[in-house]
Structure 1
Amino acid sequence: MATQTQPQEHTDTFAALSDCFDTDLAALIGEGAPRNATPAGFIGLVERVRDVLGSASVGRLQDAHEDLDHAVTHLTDALTSPAGDQRSLLAWARTHLRDAIETAR
């Protein structure tokens, strides 16, 4: 039973992160917010924003780029980690996403 609920919890957590951050992230690079993003799709959005901000020569955008880079690492690791590790990895990703958005604005 635990193996059946783990993927659902995992998907729900990524969906919650996507719901919280996809509009703000997409706005940073002039895109519309994706609808019903998969975990991989959400990570792809974070990577695109990271790459755009990383090419800027503005200090605060470089700082946001670094936060997004950390978020991508945590999100990617959460895809393959055991359920117990996923919660902390996704919590760290959430912190980095929030910090990046605040810094980039």
Structure 2
Amino acid sequence: MQSFPPEVVDAVLRHMNSDHTDDNLVIVRANGAPDAAAATMTALDADGGVWSVSTADSATAIELRIPWTIPVAERADIRKAVVLLYRSACRTLGIEPRSE
């Protein structure tokens, strides 16, 4: 498992959790947490991303690891992998993806 430098991980997490909060929710709902009320991306590496997920009826958050669907070796690959997860999640949930 390849990791990325802390500054790369921090930048991606900051971006996902400030600019893509709704996307985080779509991704986790389609990948194992259908009742999610909130989701925050907390970690990532070359194998996948990790989200902290909470539901309306639980005070305790769960950790959900979702593997990337493409190889991720460089920083630019992370964006592609997240976009693919989001689009796949939209298809799974039957919702229209937002335009980029």
Sort the TM-score into its range (normalised by shorter chain): 0.3 to 0.5
Structure having the higher strand fraction is 2
> When the two structures are superposed, what TM-score results if normalisation uses the length of structure 2?
0.46
Larger Rg: 1
TM-score (norm 1): 0.45
Give 1 or 2: higher helix fraction: 1
